[in-house]
Structures are given as structure tokens and as C-alpha cells.
Amino acid sequence: MDTNLLNRTLSEISHIIRADWRNVNYAAEPYLAAMSALGHIDDPYGFDSGRSIVLYFLSNAQTWRGETAKAVKAELKRRAKY
């Protein structure tokens, strides 16, 4: 796991995702957009929790591949205790 991800906010992680995943899956896009407004996994987003936003993103990000994807997904799963 990339230790640089450990201290990043969800918003910062969403910027890493956008920089790496050029054609974001349409189903993952709304959750990635929501993550850009979140600091931590326990933050609320409307009527949803940050945790649910992250889990929905992960379930729709299966087509995102590569080393960055692997590291980011592992960190998001760790935070969500997935």
C-alpha cells in the first residue's frame, strides 16, 4: 500500500483517482464527485454517510485498473473496513 495515501483526505484521494482514471465509469462518477466533497469516511454527504459513498464507488470502479487503482482501492477498503 502506498503510505502517501494514509494521511490523505477523501477529497485528495478523489483527485488522485481523476488524474489516473481518464474515462471514469459513468456509474462511479457520482460517487467520485461526492468523495471530492468529503474529508473523512465518517463525514455525512446529504442523507448518505461517507462510508456508503466510498463503498458505492468501489462497487462501480471495477474497470479501473493499474498500480494506482490497486493502492487506492486497498486504502479505501481499509478505511471502510470492507
Residue 32: all three cell numbers together: 467520485
- Phi/psi zone of residue 34: left (φ > 0), alpha (ψ -120 to 50 degrees), beta? alpha
Each residue's pLDDT, cut to its tens digit, for the chain (82 residues) gives 455 898 899 999 999 999 999 999 999 999 999 999 999 999 999 999 999 999 999 999 999 999 999 999 999 999 999 6
pTM of the model: 0.91
